[in-house]
Structure 1
Amino acid sequence: MNVSAPLLVQELKLLRKGRGISATQLGQRVGPALREVCQISEHEDVAEMRRKLTDRLRALIAPLPADLNTVVLAAMGLHEQARNPFYQERVHWAARKLDRDDRTIRRRIDEGIEQIAELAFAPTATARPGQPSRSWHTESLRVTLSLDQPVPEAFEFRRIVADADDITELDLALTLTPPAHRSHSPREEDLQIDVFHGGVMASRVQETSDRAGLALRLPAPLRRGERHDISLRFRAALRYPHYVCVPRRPVEAFELHVRFARPMPAEIQRLDRVFQEDARNHGVHGAVLEPDGSGEVHVEFRDLAPGFAYGVRWQEPLPDWTIARAG
């Protein structure tokens, strides 16, 4: 049977009903399009089917804009905070989360489903989770975050690899999330971005109230297999109780140095493959890190999966803004 994006849309709309990905009779909802996209054979049991669906759908949802990412994860029952047994309850949760009405959320869910169906069948979207995308991916990402400066700043050094010809622009993103005790969203002037080498900032768009989308135009088009280095600096006149990388595309290696101001934080934790929402949830624990004599910690990660958070979180007497790196 020939499968297509429209057929996948139909199957995804069926899958989102009831408990979504956690449905007991999951096999009855998985049609030929989902089986092909998620590489599910006829002989696999429900547990393996659910695992493959979860991994593949998360990878397809990860590149979506933040609002669509949230609502589609919720619709499918993949969002940790929206595991309600009924689809309408998950829609209502997303409506509260994004401060929109239920009708708007349902439209956005449909929009997101259509986009991931297009991605699944596009020639540039044949990568599986943990493998390079067909446009570009990050070979190495090194970040140095200095919290002991008058204005805290992060230096980013990234080497990307083109997975297709004629790559002319990189889509990146940065999220500044206020803690619960702050009512207003960050302003554009709260975050300063400088390109040190490797391209020109072509545009900066506020994708959501706390997420800035960045387009970096490259000096020349890249051909498949070519590597390119970029260097950026981010400055914000606020302190961050966590710094995490949430990749839109696979990242082979991520190295993070954090230099803390004194007095040292009460506790520092390593966050490894957690949901982005859990990065600021202190009920989710990571390995405790001890700063060295210079007040620094150093962590490394390998084979980062799109949509998950990797980095460091710390506790201070008065935690302020959080920062989440994506791209």
Structure 2
Amino acid sequence: MAVSSEVLMDELKALRRGRGVQAPGIDRLVGPALREVCGIGEHDGAEVVREKVVGWVAGSVRALPEDLRLAVTTPLALNPEAQHVFLAHRVQWLAELMGRDARTVRRRIDDGLTRLVEAAVRPGARRGRGARDGWRVGRLQVLLRLDGPVPLCTERWTVVAEEDGVQEVPWPGPVPESTGEQDVRVAHGAVLMSGERSPARRPGFRVRLPRSLRAGESHEFALDVRMPRVQALRPAHVFRTPRPCDRLDLVVRFDVDRPPALVTRVGGEFDGAVAVNSVGEVEVTFLDTVPGREYGIRCVADARSRTERRTG
């Protein structure tokens, strides 16, 4: 169903009263708009509802500036340092932290909730999007290093459980397809079912989390992947996720002395040239990625190659 931004805002303002998300019987306090964006089922009990609301808010505020994150989480009683019984006391705590008066802080709170609602109702925003095994990708951060003798890729995954009991997930493997073997190691937050260090040809790996997640909970783990040298020679560095991903952040680091002459985005709502910064890095972000589609960058190595491409 389509979610009304006005209704969702009213429901969030109502939820922040009193104990906020810590209120007993929260399943009776959330309205239809919140149920839709959080993926709350008809028969979900109070604790499951609470976990799903917490998971949705936590995932949605990651991209916000710190002051707006606090302006959202503190009134809703999601800030562990401000677990006051009444909303007015939480607002006062935030005002003292920010060094502002309560009126200014309340405006900041409204700004934060507005951003939260905008993210929920934007075209393409979907909840409850996981596969049959009950999880989705909340955020994927990829650092691809092409400035050394061997291409290295660090993947930082935030997975969100949409059902109880999620503890093992297949390695989604966003690393570009390769003709050679990839050496995969866990940096933190999980174990590979076939070992900490293994040569891998996608697909096949599974990742085990430290504990079983309940619906609405999220967990972060990171992998380091060493790839064949041929990866650095490709004109495009694109990634695919096997299921929807709320946010994909990609950083590609080139040799600072030999940056590409031209870099353009691949996939997403916007295209066009992307700047290489002074340390040889390109940063791009994609929201609500579609499974199977390519997202990343395309490079032209030098001015001569750029001319040949235009005239070819």
TM-score calculated relative to the size of structure 2 = 0.48
Larger Rg: 2
TM-score calculated relative to the size of structure 1 = 0.46
Determine which structure has greater relative contact order: mean sequence separation of CA pairs < 8 Å that are 6+ residues apart, divided by chain length.
1
Higher strand residue share: 1
